[in-house]
Amino acid sequence: MPVPDASGRSGAPRELLRDRVYTRLKDAILTGVLLPGERLDEAELRGWLGVSGTPIRQALHTLSLEGLVQTAPQSHSAVIAPRPEQALETLQTIGVLLAGATLLAVPSLDADERSAIAAQIDEVVAQLGGGDVPAITRSAEALFTSILLSCPNPVLLELIARAAPSLSYHVSMAYQGLPAELRDLAHGYEALKAALENGDDREAIVATKRIFGVPHPTA
């Protein structure tokens, strides 16, 4: 197991140790320092993080609830290995959340905001042409973050903030499990750009669903 820089050790209050350990482990998983399927040995983690086993076990429990770590009773913990056959369902889950936020956000976007988001869509399309999945993910996250800034529903925003990192990780790690047509997303993003520029908010929602493989009723 790789041993990242331990310079983050500090004399943080004991009640904050669980949160600090959780954050460092989550960041290590999401950035690929800890790889899918990698065993999380408690002794090694204690040496890396400089803490006792209790906050480590608490953090691993939270990460297991978030779908980033898998644990088994009387056994070891490991970084979860996303399953390609679940990639579409995971992508659709992201799409349902973001389509809801987009539905609430787009009516309040002014012309300048729509233009700025359109430019971000161009960046996503450019990254799609390059085929670099992490770069595509980063540019798409930046795009939808801009849309979320105009969403007036704090409950939905909190739900997305909690769920999105794990869902995005699962899709990015199991990308090849998506149907071929969902790997060519440029048309969906271009439709979203056109809808925003034309002020067609209904079509913007339809395009968002299309991007994430969410069926949209035609009637």
Tens of pLDDT, residues 128-145? 888 777 788 889 889 999
Tens of pLDDT, residues 174-210? 887 887 766 668 889 999 999 999 999 999 999 999 9
Q: Is the pLDDT of residue 84 over 60?
A: yes
The pLDDT, as a whole number, for residue 183 is: 64
| Ranges of each domain in the chain | 14-79, 84-211
Rounded average pLDDT over 8-14: 48
CATH code assigned to 84-211:
1.20.120.530
Tens of pLDDT, residues 155-178? 999 999 999 889 988 988 888 788
Q: Which of 13-17, 72-76, 84-88, 98-102 has the lowest mean pLDDT?
A: 13-17
The pLDDT, as a whole number, for residue 218 is: 64
Rounded average pLDDT over 12-35: 83
- DSSP assignment of 78-123 equals EE----GGGHHHHHHHHHHHHHHHHHHHGGG--HHHHHHHHHHHHH
Averaged confidence pLDDT in the chain: 87
Q: Is the pLDDT of residue 119 over 90?
A: yes
- DSSP assignment of 161-205 equals HHHHHHHHHHHHHTGGGS-HHHH--HHHHHHHHHHHHHT-HHHHH
Q: Is the pLDDT of residue 219 over 50?
A: no
Residue with tokens 């799409």: 95
> Which DSSP symbol is given to 219?
-
Side chain identity, residue 131: G
CA distance 204 to 195: 5
The pLDDT, as a whole number, for residue 76 is: 83
Between residues 142 and 8, which one has the greater pLDDT? 142
Q: Which CATH number fits domain 14-79: 1.10.760.10, 1.10.10.10, 3.30.70.100, 3.90.1150.10?
A: 1.10.10.10
pTM: 0.79
On the question of a common fold for 14-79 and 84-211, the answer reads: no
Q: Is the pLDDT of residue 14 over 60?
A: no
Residue with tokens 């929602």: 205
